[in-house]
Amino acid sequence: MSKLFSIVIPVFNEESNLGPLILDIFSALSLYDESNFEIITVDDASTDRSLKELRRLGDENETLTVISFKKRSGQTAAMMAGAKEAKGDLIVFMDGDRQNDPKDIPKLINAISEDVDVVSGWRKKRKDSFFKRIFLSSLANRLISSSMGLKLNDYGCSLKVFKSEVLKPLKIYGEMHRFLPLFCFWNGATIKEVEVGHHPRLEGESKYGVERVYKVLLDLLFLRFLVKYSHRPLHFFGKFGLYSILAGIGIFSFVIYRKLILNGQWISPLLIVSFFMTGIGFVMVLIGILAEMMIRLNEDGPQFYGRPPYDIFR
């Protein structure tokens, strides 16, 4: 039976935060009948007692569903597994570290309308380390907004609400969860940003550090490729391949000119370079052709093959 909304919470080593978080959610949603919403927690193979705590909480409340990954799969996989199992017309994402405020959930839900498909939270007053979190996050947000065409002040805020029909068709992997509004935007959805509260972390340890910067940069490079060449990879690989072939032919022509006109030598490093550049060029073109064929064959392929890589406890 469809519900009004589903709250999906990815969890990794948040044992001490889970009990208080669930209490905070029920308190914040006291105006809603419990039959109208569900809470789906997704344990990403935690190494502490998070799963045991979640199963205990699930036994105490039928509104709570627990999904448990068999091995560590990352936040993106956890979020999409929760979304796949969600029964709500709206899907709410939030973190399990209690830094998102559950009191903001009704505000974000009320911002959804016929003209708004996604509401993204904006932690305008973040309670985090300035350099490690706030400064670097601000730079990343500006870079993403300027290069991708969707201006958001806070791509990294986990508290977001999506219409189910907008979110569920998406198939994302890796660490692309922060770009979910962007994928929806590219599919024609309307995005709205709403200011939300933010709390300092009281229990547990942050899972993010400076190393996240290079991951965001790599993701951006991939997304730029995705935007321009996802349906025509031959144009990307073929362009560099042709440039390489032309460079190889040009170098080989110079070697011939030097031999015939200037009485130079045949055997030289330039001859090897010309063969190398020409060979690399042909390989790049072949890669582009193979990528084009794979896209045509697998564009509508399933996200999971066989049994899903997680267990569900209701």
> CATH no. for residue 93?
3.90.550.10
**Do residues 59 and 199 share a domain?**
yes
Residue 252 lies in a domain: yes
pLDDT given for residue 156 in this prediction: 85
- Residue 85 CA: distances (Å) to CA of 65, 120, 313: 9, 21, 12
**Do residues 267 and 161 share a domain?**
no
**Do residues 285 and 160 share a domain?**
no
Supply the pTM of this predicted model: 0.75
Residue 309 backbone dihedrals phi, psi, to 5 degrees: -85, 35
Model confidence pLDDT, tens digit, residues 124-174: 887 766 555 667 777 778 888 887 888 999 988 999 999 999 999 888 877
**Do residues 56 and 108 share a domain?**
yes
**Do residues 114 and 185 share a domain?**
yes
Model confidence pLDDT, tens digit, residues 6-25: 999 999 999 999 999 999 99
User: For the chain, what is the largest distance between any 2 Cα atoms, rounded to a whole number of angstroms?
Assistant: 91
Distance of alpha carbon 272 from alpha carbon 249, whole angstroms: 12
pLDDT given for residue 304 in this prediction: 38
**Do residues 157 and 263 share a domain?**
no
pLDDT given for residue 175 in this prediction: 78
Residue 312 lies in a domain: no
Residue 158 lies in a domain: yes
pLDDT given for residue 308 in this prediction: 62
**Contact of 45 with 87, CB cutoff 8 Å:** no
b/e code 32-64 from CB counts within 10 Å (16+ = b): eeeeebbbbbbbbbbeeebbebbbebbeeeebb
Residue 227 lies in a domain: no
Kindly compute the dihedral angle of the four CA atoms of residues 99, 133, 8, 22, in this order, to the nearest 10 degrees: -20
Question: Pairing relation of β-strands 88-93 and 118-122?
Answer: unpaired
**Do residues 60 and 8 share a domain?**
yes
- The residue type of 101 is D
What is the sign of the dihedral through the CA atoms of 281, 283, 284 and 286? positive
Number of domains in the chain: 2
pLDDT given for residue 270 in this prediction: 87
Distance of alpha carbon 137 from alpha carbon 153, whole angstroms: 10
Residue 157 lies in a domain: yes
pLDDT given for residue 148 in this prediction: 82
Residue 14 lies in a domain: yes
Residue 135 lies in a domain: no
**Do residues 165 and 89 share a domain?**
yes
**Do residues 241 and 186 share a domain?**
no
**Do residues 161 and 255 share a domain?**
no
Residue 309 lies in a domain: no
**Do residues 184 and 291 share a domain?**
no
Kindly give the parts of the chain with pLDDT less than 70: 1-3, 128-134, 204-214, 230, 264-266, 295-309, 314
pLDDT given for residue 174 in this prediction: 74
SS (H, E, C) the chain: CCEEEEEEEEECCCHHHHHHHHHHHHHHCCCCCHHHEEEEEEECCCCCCHHHHHHHHHHHCCCEEEEEECCCCCHHHHHHHHHHHCCEEEEEECCCCCCECHHHHHHHHHHCECCECEEEEECCCCCCCHHHHHHHHHHHHHHHHHHHCCCCCCCCCCCEEEEHHHHCCCCCCCCHHHHHHHHHHHCCCCEEEEECCECCCCCCCCCCCCCHHHHHHHHHHHHHHHHHHCCCHHHHHHHHHHHHHHHHHHHHHHHHHHHHCCCCCCCCHHHHHHHHHHHHHHHHHHHHHHHHHHHHHHCCCCCCCCCCCEEEEC
**Do residues 78 and 117 share a domain?**
yes
Q: Show the domain range for 182.
A: 3-128+153-206
